[in-house]
Chain A
């Protein structure tokens, strides 16, 4: 089971009121996308869920347990790949296993099993600098997955990639999802990306952010257009505020 609940979270960063009474839920094996205008506090939300910062008010519950302000349960991936330039790909993705106390040899063995599915077969001994942006993001995703395989927080993971690579990554991610069935909270400001990937979309307001609209996606294309218009009108309103 991997159920995540964000309950009435508020946060003021320095003097900026960033999140206001924000609640959302991520069900088991669900792929939820958080959409919002730029600078609305999406990354702050993920920082709070991952436990890196404490909310001023509210709670983070995972499988009924309180995880507010505690790191180590969910795994968190950012827009930057944040791979260590000093380690080759295999040793980079094995880091979470090493941090859990697994010895080096064993960690490498476990990590190596996943390279093929993550499109990194044959690149184990390459350094991050030698790989393309898409491959580096896949390596970062594998590292994220190896830390915690059931709840993944992805903060605009493909934003720095070019359009074609991003599209390939979307299809690859959907395949991967079918195979590994994680619960994913995916932050983006790209509506197309949200419509393509999501089971559920949370549209956030401008700062202080709160959930403006929650949409459960159904697979018909006709409805996609309507949903898109609906989201666009909300986001435009928020940007004009």
Chain B
């Protein structure tokens, strides 16, 4: 009984506020007769999505492919960086500042450079995605590995565990929750990063589509692409959530238990 009340209590407010916002937008546009090359009403955006659906999907697949490829490569790169930096101290000193610097370079400039070097294909977009996504994953993974209880590592040493056993049994599993919070941040950025890459020169993709539509003041189409981008980003986050649910069952059970405890204590 209490459970159903709770779920309703959690998901109703955002849905209602979202609907209210859309209604204000819709009536605002109609009431003040805002021309559609300035701002399109939600109904027009939905219409645009329906009308241009095949075209939108054609561009969406390209963007999604770039984002997912970049995202997966980011995870692999982050793991390599995290392993090296947490196991070799001087390498950590040498590389860590470079990681920080890599995040301070304006992305727009780099995206342009990548396009000059690698052309208008998928490669420069994937590189932008990697540059955006590897950092939160790597940093969280490094923090996760470094924050393992020293006593736990000592215990494993006292039981004669080698560094490989300590890594796979202690460090990696302990770092998983932290790794997933990094992964979730990167998932939200991944689609956007691919779109930025496309914006600066592409043959296909939602970013490219938006630049075209913007030039012809088809605001409804631009916003249609924005809606798709939002949905794709949410999809990426949900995929990460699902992966976390499957990969770290010990956290899942803990959460359930805490949820149960909270509800019985109240």
Contact = CB atoms under 8 A, between A and B. Distances in A.
Contacts of B155: 76, 78, 82
Nearest to A77: B155
Q: Contact residue range for chain A?
A: 20 to 34
Nearest to B172: A86
Contact of B250 (A75, A78, A85, A96): A85
B151 A78 contact: yes
Interface stretch (B51-59, B105-113, B157-165, B211-219): B157-165
A147 B173 contact: no
A52 B250 contact: no
Contacts of B257: 129-130
A82 B159 contact: no
B165 to A, nearest CB: 6
B253 A84 contact: no
A127 interface: yes
A66 to B, nearest CB: 17
Interface residues of B, number: 23
B158 A129 contact: no
A72 B187 CA distance: 44
Interface in B244-266: 248, 250-251, 253-254, 257
B254 A129 contact: yes
A86 B254 contact: no
A75 to B, nearest CB: 7
A72 B160 contact: yes
A151 to B, nearest CB: 12
B160 A99 contact: yes
Contact of A130 (B161, B165, B253): B253
Interface in A87-121: 87-88, 95-96, 99-100
A86 B158 contact: no
B29 interface: no
Interface string A35-59: 0000000000001001110000000
Given A72-B160, A86-B176, 19 more contacts: A51-B158, A52-B154, A72-B159, A75-B158, A78-B151, A80-B149, A80-B151, A82-B151, A82-B152, A84-B169, A85-B174, A86-B250, A87-B250, A88-B250, A99-B160, A100-B160, A127-B254, A129-B250, A130-B257
